[in-house]
A and B are shown apart, each in its own frame.
Chain A
Amino acid sequence: MRGSRVVAGLVLAYLLLPVAVVVGLSFNAPSNRLSYDFDRFTLANWADPCGPAGLCASVLRSAQIGLLATVLATVLGTLLAFGLTRHRFRGRGPLNALVFLPMATPEVVLGSSLLALFTAGAVPLGFWTVVIAHVMFCVSFVVVVVKARLAGMDPRLEEAAADLYASPWHTFRTVTLPLAMPGIVAGALLAFSLSFDDFIVSNFNAGTMTTFPMFVWGSAQRGIPPQVNVVGTAMFAVAVLAVVITTFRRRAR
């Protein structure tokens, strides 16, 4: 068992090494455009994160797409999860399959098939086609997370509310929804991170618009501005901060 602990430590180090490199490179003044080596320490990248043309615009666009896709996917996915767990109806099996299939389909296929549809329908590619695409692949993940939460809920709580003469709507608002909330929030967070980080599906359906991952991809061919690592580090810091705050708030309660 000692052996498995050593392996576990090494695997964690392997997972975290690139993150450390991203943080390090955000303070790097590269010797030339195409160099990936650490050359000289500088704060210039952090002082001017929007320096490279188009970088901050692409981050903003990714955030807008992420928020819109998250709201839509969370609403659609939560409704689906309630329908699938709380009700027995004809066609439940095929519907479960339809929800599962997008997760079992590689992103190239998802992205290219939507592109084929948009092209056939002469739909102009851009912001909205990417939002539509992101909602499509996020819905399934929201359904899975919310379903897992609903499956673990004690049905007697809602029965108790009904016994105490709460109307169905009142029961839903004050008992069911609060209990399901952690699952819905987790689903929404997952949807946002999937959307914000997506490259493949976006690249097929964005036309000439650029999201943050697409900006990184494009600049990888021309030489990456060190500010990309500033954005990467800042994203990491925000996420860590969010995790720390939620953990402490839960402890405080």
Chain B
Amino acid sequence: MTVTAAARPARAARRTPYLLILPGLLWLAVFFAVPVVQLGATSLYDPNGSLTDGYAMTWSFGNYATALAAYWPQFLRSLLYAGLATAICLALGYPLAFVIAQRAGRWRNLLLILVVAPFFTSFLVRTLAWKAILADTGWLAGLLRDLHLLAPDGRLLATPFAVVMGLVYNFLPFMVLPLYASLQRLDGRLLEAAADLYASPLRTFRHVTLPLSMPGVVAGTLLTFIPAVGDYINAALLGTVRTSMIGNVIDSAFLVRLDYPQAAALSFLLMAAILVLVTVYVRRAGTDELL
């Protein structure tokens, strides 16, 4: 069959989208999808194998039970710390995003730059700066001791407080930016209308501002919670073994203990836990269209 001249461009046009997506699709398939499947397979390997001798596929679902039995405290702690950090980020980030979006006037861009300014320097260097600020011999601990807010032998560093504070600090901009994006679209006249109708500031917030900024709240909490729950840099630099999170366990299982099946099982559990939590949360918040 011959192809007519008119049909040729039509066929080429039909091919265009596939040519555009093919390179990126291949990259994500080979280096994201395949590895995740491989990780799932690894989590079911015979736990008695080793890296040097190789692992046998034995469909050992028991790996999950052993991993959970051994590391459920770190798992729970990760969810707790990340949840707490997300809640604090929301409480701190909302007023900041609101002021920038609705009240900053010509200072808006400068304030936005200040919000992302911490990103201009390295994540690890910033976290180490907190180590200096919270140090036992630092000015902050000294000040709090003088004010009797901290016991004479009390510590800031190497406590759950330090880890959660570090998480809040490192992921706060991820909360502020989406909140800003949705509060900036909020029509200021709606707030004036509510005030004209004698709504108290609290009622205005509950019935006007908050419902209209829900997409920002959902996006911000997800962007904060997901990286926070898997993070182990804050727990490692600002905490102790007693504040270890699941990321610390996965890291050492893969890189120190070289127990690949157990490490893979923990990774897979973490991923599954996040997917379930995120789906339930997005459904409850009624913002399905975000996903």
Binding site for B on A (CB under 8 A): 1, 3-5, 7-8, 11-12, 14-19, 21-22, 25, 36-37, 75-77, 79-80, 82-84, 86-89, 95, 98-102, 104-110, 112-117, 119-120, 132-133, 135-136, 139-140, 143, 193, 196-197, 199-200, 203-204, 212-213, 216-217, 220, 224, 228-229, 231-233, 235-236, 239-240, 243, 247
A83 and B21 in contact (CB under 8 A), knowing A1-B201, A98-B28?
yes
B250–A89 CB distance below 8 A: no
B129 CB within 8 Å of chain A: yes
A216–B96 CB distance below 8 A: no
CA distance A106 to B224 in the complex (A): 11
CA distance A51 to B121 in the complex (A): 20
B95–A106 CB distance below 8 A: no
Which residues in chain B, 70-125, are within 8 Å of chain A measured between CB atoms? 92-93, 95-96, 98-100, 103, 109, 111, 113-115, 117-125
14 contacts between A and B (CB under 8 A): A8-B95, A12-B114, A14-B169, A15-B118, A22-B129, A36-B135, A82-B20, A83-B16, A98-B29, A100-B291, A104-B274, A109-B230, A114-B31, A239-B120
A11 and B132 in contact (CB under 8 A), knowing A1-B201, A16-B114, A79-B23?
no
Give the contacting residue for A139; candidates B28, B135, B172, B255; CB below 8 A: B28
Which residues in chain B, 233-267, are within 8 Å of chain A measured between CB atoms? 233, 237, 246-247, 250-251, 254-255, 260, 263-264, 267
**Nearest opposing residue in chain B for A228, CB measure:** B125
Give the contacting residue for B270; candidates A8, A79, A108, A220; CB below 8 A: A108
B36 CB within 8 Å of chain A: yes
B125–A229 CB distance below 8 A: yes
Closest CB of chain A to B202's CB: distance in Å?
11
In the complex, per-residue mask of B159-186: 1 if CB is within 8 Å of any chain A CB, else 0: 0000000000100110000000000000
B92–A7 CB distance below 8 A: yes
Q: For A203, list chain B residues within 8 Å (CB).
A: 251, 255
**Nearest opposing residue in chain A for B253, CB measure:** A112
**Nearest opposing residue in chain B for A12, CB measure:** B114
A89–B18 CB distance below 8 A: yes
A109–B24 CB distance below 8 A: no
B129–A236 CB distance below 8 A: no
A117 and B138 in contact (CB under 8 A), knowing A8-B96, A104-B274, A193-B119?
no
CA distance A96 to B36 in the complex (A): 17
**Nearest opposing residue in chain B for A4, CB measure:** B95
B62 CB within 8 Å of chain A: no
A232–B31 CB distance below 8 A: no
Give the interface SS of chain A, mostly helix, strand, loop or mixed: helix
Closest CB of chain A to B262's CB: distance in Å?
12
Q: For A247, list chain B residues within 8 Å (CB).
A: 109
B38–A116 CB distance below 8 A: yes
Give the contacting residue for A25; candidates B21, B33, B129, B227; CB below 8 A: B129
CA distance A143 to B126 in the complex (A): 28
Give the contacting residue for A4; candidates B99, B137, B247; CB below 8 A: B99
Q: For B7, list chain A residues within 8 Å (CB).
A: none
Q: For B173, list chain A residues within 8 Å (CB).
A: 15
Q: For A1, list chain B residues within 8 Å (CB).
A: 103, 201
A235 and B250 in contact (CB under 8 A), knowing A89-B18, A109-B271, A117-B34?
no
**Nearest opposing residue in chain A for B26, CB measure:** A76
B275 CB within 8 Å of chain A: yes
Q: For A25, list chain B residues within 8 Å (CB).
A: 129, 132
A117–B27 CB distance below 8 A: no
CA distance A21 to B138 in the complex (A): 12
B254–A112 CB distance below 8 A: yes
CA distance A89 to B109 in the complex (A): 39
A5–B230 CB distance below 8 A: no
Closest CB of chain B to A252's CB: distance in Å?
16
A15–B172 CB distance below 8 A: yes
B100–A106 CB distance below 8 A: no
Q: For B119, list chain A residues within 8 Å (CB).
A: 193, 197
B33–A98 CB distance below 8 A: yes
B17 CB within 8 Å of chain A: yes
